Homo-oligomer: A and B are copies of this chain.
Amino acid sequence: MKIKELPEKTLKRLIIYLKVLENLDKQNIDFISSEDLAKRCGVNSAQLRKDLSFVGSLGTKGVGYSIRSLKFRLKNFLGRTREWNLILGGVTPLGIFLLENTNLQKEGFYFLAAFDINEENIGKIYNGISVYSLDQLSYILNVIKVDIGVIATDENPHLYLKAFTDQKIKAILNLSKIPLFLEDPEIRIENFSFLIALTKLSYFLKEIKDEN
């Protein structure tokens, strides 16, 4: 099926290409060259063509890429032509923000339920999504099919991770400030926090200061 494993960095760039193509499509542009698209994505054109070659042979020699068609092929390749069901672990301000965020729904990511371990949060409803006790997870999963578990609390993220993976959830978005890792290659964890992003910037700023 796959000829060669897709490099992580290529995956990240493909996602960017898709987003940039979606914006170009809105502007009613039909065709684009690798040169032009690459510039808009902050990479060079050879890189872009090599990255796209993982997806297939998508362009027309002498012409370039059809924006609409490339967008569709990329979207499909990235698993974004279908919808995915999510659950939330941790009804924090960040968690509530995600439940109430309609943007993710527009992109095909649907929160179906939220879970918490604090009694006072259980039974609440945000944007039509109910909060259950984490103990009830396996019971609820009899009724709904879940693809991705999102952890949004700094208080015991491991607890949610264990509950989710025990229930055979294979994809985890960890937004807690504690990075999480598992040996199991069957389970994919994406660790992200604002703090990581801000620290990259603080390193950069410190470096430019030290140079002067």
Asked if B11 and A103 make an inter-chain contact with CB atoms under 8 angstroms apart, the answer reads no
Asked if B205 and A170 make an inter-chain contact with CB atoms under 8 angstroms apart, the answer reads yes
Given A181-B42, A199-B78, A97:B100 Cβ within 8 A: no
Across-interface contacts of A80 in B (CB, < 8 A): 199, 202
Across-interface contacts of A97 in B (CB, < 8 A): 93-94, 97
**A1, A101, A199, A208 pick with most chain B CB within 10 angstroms:** A199
Asked if A101 and B93 make an inter-chain contact with CB atoms under 8 angstroms apart, the answer reads yes
Across-interface contacts of A23 in B (CB, < 8 A): 178
In the assembly, what is the distance between CA of A148 and CA of B203, in Å?
A: 12
In the assembly, what is the distance between CA of A139 and CA of B211, in Å?
A: 29
Identify A19's interface contact among B19, B179, B197, CB under 8 A: B179
Asked if B41 and A171 make an inter-chain contact with CB atoms under 8 angstroms apart, the answer reads no
Asked if A171 and B104 make an inter-chain contact with CB atoms under 8 angstroms apart, the answer reads no
Asked if B177 and A103 make an inter-chain contact with CB atoms under 8 angstroms apart, the answer reads yes
Asked if A178 and B19 make an inter-chain contact with CB atoms under 8 angstroms apart, the answer reads yes
What residues of chain A have their CB less than 8 Å away from a CB belonging to chain B? 1-2, 6, 11-12, 15-16, 18-20, 23, 40-42, 77-80, 84, 93-94, 97-98, 100-101, 103-104, 107, 109, 147-148, 154, 170-173, 177-179, 181, 186, 188, 190-192, 194-208, 210-211
The list of the 9 closest CB pairs from A to B, nearest first, reads A79-B206, A42-B181, A79-B202, A171-B201, A188-B204, A190-B197, A15-B199, A16-B179, A78-B203
